[in-house]
Chains A and B, each alone.
Chain A
Amino acid sequence: MTPGTILLWVVLSQESVESLLTRAVLAERDGRLEEAARSYREVEALLPSVAAIPFNLSLVLVQEGKLTEALAEIEKAIALDPAEAPFHLLHGRILRALESPERAIEALEEAVRLAPDSRDGFFEIADLHQSRRELEPAALWLRRYLALHPDDLEALYFLGTVLSYGSGTEEARRVLGDVVASDPKHARAWFRKAHVEAQKPETMPSAVESYRRSLELENEKAYVWYEYGSLLDKLGRSAEAIPAFERALALDPELSAASYALGNALSRTGRTEEARAHLERFKNARDEEERADAEAKRALSAFARGRKLLEENHLDEAISAFLEMTELNPRAHQGYAFLAKAHFSRKETPVAIAYVRRAIQLSPGTVEYPFLLSLFLKDRGDGPGALDALSTALSLEPENPTLHNARGVLLEDLGDLEGAARELERAVALDAGNPAYTLNLALAYEKLGLADKAQASFSRYREQLGLR
């Protein structure tokens, strides 16, 4: 189901809603995503029970890269209408992007359960497993889909690809052979088949033919030319390999493996000076990669040093180490988070807030960062801001008792005693053995005047501490 069809379901009873929706759709179509999101939010306020609105808003937010907000919206949509497969599919995709693979798989399995005829859910689950090198489950999901749709060539091709990464290369070759037999113009299948065949001496001659067929259909892929040349080279056909490598490099001058292969093929055929030029290019690219790798290692070393210094309360030296880390690797979100912690320890809360915001920007799926932000904002007296940050954290981990406890305490500080009690009850339900949560709940009940409940919680608290 597409967003457009879902929109048709919406009952447009008010003109303002209709014009807002039109504005949102047009803005989305024209790539004015911020405006689209704003308009959808306005519609959402007017039609809070229509699941399609948060779904569409979530799609826009995904395009904006605002994944945690998108997650909150799609979860709203699912709460309103849990039977829509596309909602669960999007939910799974967002969770995957936020690096919560287990939750993503749960969501995707629900999508598949609701829409067994759609291949999107099957493919997404298989792809997720494959990306985690879990090849057997990946193949299993594709086989399940193929049992329902045996003629789906893309699914068969996908299965062949998955199998080619594992030890079942014979089966991969057979499956990919079935794909090209059904569709001789499937260039990617010819390539993948060639790639499998090139791994064993007995199938190398077939691989040459498969590469050739692939290149006849699609001749603009640098890596296909490189692999074709590489195989010819291994088979002792260097004179034919050289033009293939040259073609690969013409298409992608950065393909350093081709520079190396071409350099060596030229060297073997006595064209030493030409060989030197290509090998020099290869060496420079390698040196650059190694330099980057060394810097990443130095960054990790600085990080470890900084953490130890922070543990020992050497704050200035710890900050220097974390700064060194972020200079070496400006995308190291852990470095910014620890800079935030160190500055917070030095009572420099505004600096801490700035650093943790940077960490959130770089890693929006890490639940610890919005939690830290909430602590810092609370310290600054910004209760509503802290509450927002905790909501973000909870959208990432809805079952995290620490977050519910923190939110309960914060709500209590802000005077929302009923809300506080609800959050603290949730924290205790999720982790009944934690005395801190029990005590906080007891205090909230006491403030609410719920003496019996407070007494029961205090009693349980004392039991937890072994005081009775």
Chain B
Amino acid sequence: MIPLVALWLEAPFLLGPRLDFQHRSGGPEKTYIVETMGSGVALLDYDSDADLDLYLVNAGSLAPFAGAPDRLFRNDGSLGFEDVTREAGLGDDGFGQGVAVGDVDNDGDPDLYVTSYGPNGLYRNNGDGTFTAVVAGVEDSRWSASAAFADVDGDGFLDLYVCNYLDFDRELLDRLIPQRFCEWKGLRVNCGPRGFPHVSGALFRNRRDGTFEDRTAAAGLETLDAYALGAVFSDLDLDGHPDLYVASDSTGNLVFLNRGDGTFEDRSLLSGAAFSHAGEAQAGMGVDSGDVNGDGLPDLVVTNFSDDYDTLYLNQGGLTFLDSSDLLGLAVPTLPYLGWSVVLEDFDGDFDLDLFKVNGHVYPQVDGSGTGESFRQPMQLFWNDEGRGFREATSSVLAEPRAARGASVGDLDGDTDPDVVVSVLDAEPVVLLHQGSPVVSLSLVGRTSNRDGIGAKVWAESSGRKWLREIRRARGYLSSGEPVARFPEADRLTIEWPGGTRDELGRLPPGFHVLLEGEGKLTN
């Protein structure tokens, strides 16, 4: 018999197929901060054949016209991935950073938004396996990081929030700091983010005619004191409107309360989720939201720099949070690592949300420096012990050190459970196939709400307890995943759509299920 403790500690992943994709981002020394941030990954069914395809962002070189093109890989349904970038009309060759996926025109197929150090691009899915680059008013030319779609004004169409990191002017930097390096722990490393001018994030409202308008200032989202990297929309106060949480590097994180009319109130300081419990600004990179302790309220997790812990903010209601990282056992094991993408997902099929995160340092110079740190670092998986705390699970697959950055969750192999794709700086991506039991995988089709039901809340009731899932694609860092709710078999499911419709479902067997808004029953 296998001892229980061994089962408890073993991470449930196997390495999946290798992809013919090499990420590149500047030189090996990482002279400039922009070269060290990595790029994201998206899982989307772009050809509507019921399996998840892969979009991998690439950066390239900072030299003019030396970008490396992004790639789209089509899943043949049996984990064979074919590069279809050219046929699909894709291959953005800017200095790519992140990717957000959303059905912006509610036509039933997912569109792509790619962020860059340089102009961002929107690629409309034509519904025939091809995309068209469109000029739609979202071509933010600042250095952008993560982006997220959500219907912030409740009109049934997805709006877009874009994190802009900082104002990086290479020529100015070379003039101001001729030696081109800053000191960190006695090492000569790239400079930033502190010292660079701030830039605001941007909110683009969907005009419902294929174009967007910049509503940042009007919506109350103009900020000039953050280095924004990660963003997640989540109904943090359960009032039916998606609130916005932004992870910010070296500055306070941002918490915006959605008033319900497409405008926001800055509640960062009052929320308790801007800083660590000690009032320290951390280096917010990736972020996710989910009900960690089963109290029905979405909590927040943010990854940070090494020598600092990843922060878990437990939702206390009324849009207030408590940094509970050490109480839940997350502080000590995350302290040595520099974290990026993070996702809260039920990997062991017991209803509560486990935590998966990827790590990697920003300074290659740490290798062999005697600081005790390394550029490549292991990924980490934490089992959730019914909301009482996290325990780290290790396996050789995750423990191999990598300079990982993005991570995206979705069912790649059609067995309902969540697989993970990780983007790695200057390397191939990693596909992690989950080896679990089948679960209920519920997708939503909106009618008055947006087509993918982004922002819908799904409640599962089992043995007298209620568990919450929110439907979203954008989470973690620079990445976008599958918009489904996954549960083990539950007694009852209640679905609250963003438009206010409510559907209820009885016990569902494990497998794929699709719910049409307002029907109260499943469709194929």
Contacts and interface: CB of A to CB of B under 8 A. Distances in A.
Interface of A: 198-201, 204, 230, 233-236, 256-257, 259-261, 263-264, 267-268, 270, 272, 275-276, 279, 282-283, 286, 293-294, 297, 301, 304-305, 308
B279 A261 contact: yes
Contacts of A283: 269
Contacts of A308: 178
B326 A256 contact: no
Interface string B111-150: 0000000000000000000000000000000000000000
Task: Decide if the interface of chain B is mainly helix, strand, loop or mixed.
Answer: loop
B178 A234 contact: no
B176 A263 contact: no
Given A268-B272, A275-B270, A301-B176, A261 B329 contact: no
A201 B331 CA distance: 10
Contact of B277 (A234, A256, A305): A234
Nearest to A227: B278
B3 interface: no
Nearest to B179: A304
A267 B272 contact: yes
Interface string B324-352: 10111101100000000000000000000
Interface string B436-450: 000000000000000
Contacts of B18: none
Contact of B176 (A230, A259, A267, A304): A304
A308 B269 CA distance: 42
A433 to B, nearest CB: 29
> Considering residues B179, B195, B320, B326, which has the most beta carbons from chain A within 10 angstroms of its beta carbon?
B320
Contacts of A264: 270, 272, 320, 322
Q: Which are the 9 A-B pairs with shortest beta-carbon distances? A: A260-B279, A264-B272, A268-B320, A257-B279, A279-B269, A308-B178, A297-B195, A267-B270, A268-B316
B270 A257 contact: no
Nearest to B278: A257
B275 interface: yes
A234 B323 contact: yes
B272 A204 contact: no
A259 B277 CA distance: 11
B187 interface: no
A49 to B, nearest CB: 45
B465 interface: no
Given A230-B278, A270-B318, A305-B176, 15 more contacts: A200-B332, A201-B327, A201-B328, A256-B279, A260-B275, A261-B278, A263-B270, A264-B272, A264-B322, A275-B270, A276-B270, A282-B269, A293-B194, A304-B178, A308-B178
Nearest to B177: A304
Contacts of A204: 327
Contacts of B322: 233-234, 236, 264, 268
B83 to A, nearest CB: 45
B455 to A, nearest CB: 26
Given A199-B326, A235-B327, A257-B279, A305 B272 contact: no
B294 interface: no
A60 to B, nearest CB: 36
A279 B270 contact: yes
Contacts of B195: 294, 297, 301
B103 to A, nearest CB: 37
Interface of A is mostly: helix
B133 to A, nearest CB: 39
B389 interface: yes
Nearest to B331: A199
B389 A201 contact: yes
A252 B389 CA distance: 34
Nearest to A199: B326
9 contacts: A198-B326, A201-B329, A234-B277, A257-B280, A261-B278, A268-B272, A279-B269, A286-B279, A301-B176
Interface residues of B, number: 30
Contacts of B272: 264, 267-268
Contacts of B327: 201, 204, 234-235
Contacts of A293: 194
B203 to A, nearest CB: 24
Contact of B270 (A234, A236, A272): A272
A56 B278 CA distance: 46
A299 to B, nearest CB: 12
A273 to B, nearest CB: 11
A297 to B, nearest CB: 5
A268 to B, nearest CB: 4
A26 B195 CA distance: 54
Contacts of B331: 199
A252 B121 CA distance: 52
Contacts of B318: 268, 270
A309 to B, nearest CB: 10
A256 B329 CA distance: 26
Contacts of A261: 277-279
A260 B326 CA distance: 18
Which of B179, B275, B328 gathers most chain A CB within 10 Å?
B275
Interface string B161-198: 00000000000000111110000000000000011000
A276 B269 CA distance: 8
A274 to B, nearest CB: 11
A204 B318 CA distance: 27
Contacts of B320: 264, 267-268
A293 B193 CA distance: 13
Nearest to A283: B269
A202 B332 CA distance: 13
Nearest to B325: A234
A97 B275 CA distance: 36
B326 A201 contact: yes
Contacts of B194: 293, 297
Nearest to A236: B322
Given A260-B279, A270-B318, A200 B269 contact: no
A171 B389 CA distance: 24
A259 B271 CA distance: 14
B140 to A, nearest CB: 26
Interface string B248-283: 000000000000000000000111100101111100
Nearest to A268: B320
Contacts of B329: 200-201
A221 B231 CA distance: 40
B326 A234 contact: yes
A298 B194 CA distance: 11
Most B CB within 10 A of own CB, among A235, A267, A270: A267
A32 B195 CA distance: 47
A227 B177 CA distance: 40
A263 B328 contact: no
B269 to A, nearest CB: 4
Contacts of B328: 201
B489 to A, nearest CB: 31
Contact of A200 (B177, B179, B277, B326): B326
Nearest to A275: B270
A282 B279 contact: yes
A204 B277 CA distance: 16
A267 to B, nearest CB: 5
The residue in B179, B278, B318, B323 that gathers the most chain A C-beta atoms within 10 A of its C-beta is B278
Contacts of A304: 176-179
A261 B322 CA distance: 10
Interface string B299-325: 000000000000000001010101110
A301 B278 CA distance: 30
A301 B324 contact: no
Contacts of B316: 268
A259 B269 CA distance: 12
A325 to B, nearest CB: 13
Given A204-B327, A256-B279, A301 B177 contact: yes
A296 to B, nearest CB: 10
A361 B331 CA distance: 44
A301 B324 CA distance: 39
A433 B280 CA distance: 53
